[in-house]
Structure 1
Amino acid sequence: MIRVVVVDDHPLYRQALADTVGAAPELQLAGAAGDGDAGLKLIRDLDPDVAIVDVRLGRHDGPDIARAIEQSSLRTRILFISAHDDGATVHRALAAGGNGFLTKDAGSIEIRRAIIGILRGEVVLAPSAQAQLTAELRRQCLPEHPLLTEREQQMLEHIAEGQTVAEIATDLYLSQATVKCHLRSLYAKLEVGERAAAVATAMRRGLLS
């Protein structure tokens, strides 16, 4: 039996994943969690073969879990699942140590095949995620292409100055929702989860003077 843990912050989808695992004769649901902290504790306590992990989980997201597992030399393989399949998200998930990436419209058969595949040592990607990842890698290989867009660079400079979302929105004549969207994109590209880490990482990469 392949023991599986499910980590997703959406209750209905988490239950759907649990039902998919429970219905498969070769799989056993070892446990389920609704946030990154609980998910990582569950993985450490139960030592499952595979963890199906949502990429975006809030304070400690999917890539954080993958990095912690890798650093702890745990054997659990990570199958990421997400509603977002843009190149930056897929790249960030796999770079953190993910063994596969599916989108949330994947069916039960696709999920079961992915679990078995990554246990065989395969890297399993949804077709759309594969295309987006290829485009992202090509983009990163272009030396003339900046890592950050002009707007993302503005966001970086404003948060480095300690400004709040509301203050940035006022200064740039944007809505707070738009500012938050640009910040999420900035954090994804820098592979961080919050502003202090973004500033520190940007300074190391020479993106801030």
Structure 2
Amino acid sequence: MNRQISVVVVDDHPFFRDGLSRGLAASGRIRVLGEADDGRSGIAMITDLKPDVAVVDQQMPDLTGTDVVHAVIRDGLPTKVLLLSAVTDSVVVFDALREGAAGYVSKNSDRDAIIGAVERVSKGETVVPPELAGGLVAQIRAHAQPDAPALSERESQVLNGFARGLSIPQIAAELYIGASTVKTHAANLYQKLGVSDRAAAVAEGMRRRLIE
């Protein structure tokens, strides 16, 4: 049996916090160690319990979710922080990821999507809202870093196709190869970038200056 993912929930809205905790625990794959109702108590709880993942509301009075991320990184804590917010603005999301957030998910996401995001960030993956892939491009270009992995020619072509909004069948047609071959290159690409979907691949590819 796989070990449960330990989680702390930080949100200043009691109803949402309770519902989120119940939903995560009901999955059977996540163990909620505790709940905090503001950023300061959330940081204290994360420091004390050191959960695998902290699911943190971005918009809280006093300290924001990004402030919590900063404290976790500053103190060298092993916890990965997944931010939740009703607002998914590309500038806010990029700033949060730059601070060290493991992911950013809309509060409007369904339970399975949030559970999936928790599981993915616990494995070291980066999670971003798919609809923000294009909006993040300008932010990532402006702050790009050259720490790029070596991509094969095909992997680079697939990544650039994703950045142009092409589907796997469209990329296959453009490159005159089979869709299954494109899927294989995409899987290799995701592994090299440490992501698990197209949107995150585009975001990470732009950050590392891999997209033309």
TM interval, short-chain normalised: 0.5 to 0.7
- The CA deviation string for residues 73-127 of structure 1, in whole angstroms up to 9 with x for no partner, is 1100011110111111101111111001100111111111111111222101121
The within-5 A match list for 1:135-154 is 135-138=138-141
Does the aligned pair in 2 maintain the 1:40–1:65 contact within 8 Å?
yes
> In the alignment, which residue of structure 1 is the partner of 2:75?
72
Does the aligned pair in 1 maintain the 2:5–2:122 contact within 8 Å?
no
Deviation, 1:128, is 2.2
Deviation, 1:63, is 0.9
Alignment of 1:12 with 2:9, yes or no, is no
Alignment CA distance shift 1:63-1:20 (3 Å): same
Alignment of 1:130 with 2:133, yes or no, is yes
Where 1:74 maps in the other structure, the secondary structure is coil
Does the aligned pair in 2 maintain the 1:101–1:129 contact within 8 Å?
no
> In the alignment, which residue of structure 2 is the partner of 1:191?
none
Unaligned runs of 5+ in 2: 145-212
Amino acid in structure 1 at the alignment position of 2:103 = G
Does the aligned pair in 1 maintain the 2:84–2:106 contact within 8 Å?
yes
Alignment of 1:60 with 2:63, yes or no, is yes
Quote the Cα distance in structure 1 between the aligned partners of 2:125 and 2:143: 24
The within-5 A match list for 1:82-101 is 82-101=85-104
Amino acid in structure 2 at the alignment position of 1:109 = D
Where 2:135 maps in the other structure, the secondary structure is helix
Quote the Cα distance in structure 2 between the aligned partners of 1:112 and 1:20: 8
Where 1:81 maps in the other structure, the secondary structure is strand
Unaligned runs of 5+ in 1: 142-209
> In the alignment, which residue of structure 1 is the partner of 2:186?
none
Amino acid in structure 2 at the alignment position of 1:36 = G
Amino acid in structure 2 at the alignment position of 1:56 = Q
Alignment CA distance shift 1:6-1:131 (3 Å): farther
Quote the Cα distance in structure 1 between the aligned partners of 2:18 and 2:136: 29
Q: Which has the larger displacement, 15-24 or 121-130?
A: 121-130
The number of residue pairs the alignment matches comes to 141
Quote the Cα distance in structure 1 between the aligned partners of 2:35 and 2:133: 27
Please point out which of 105, 119, 142 is paired with 1:116.
119
Quote the Cα distance in structure 2 between the aligned partners of 1:16 and 1:52: 13
> In the alignment, which residue of structure 1 is the partner of 2:155?
none
Where 1:14 maps in the other structure, the secondary structure is helix
Give the alignment's TM-score, normalised by structure 2. Answer: 0.63
Compute the RMSD of aligned alpha carbons: 1.6
Segments of 4+ in structure 1 off by > 4 A?
138-141
Quote the Cα distance in structure 1 between the aligned partners of 2:142 and 2:131: 17
Quote the Cα distance in structure 1 between the aligned partners of 2:95 and 2:114: 21
Deviation, 1:129, is 3.3
Deviation, 1:138, is 4.9
Where 1:122 maps in the other structure, the secondary structure is coil
Alignment of 1:33 with 2:8, yes or no, is no
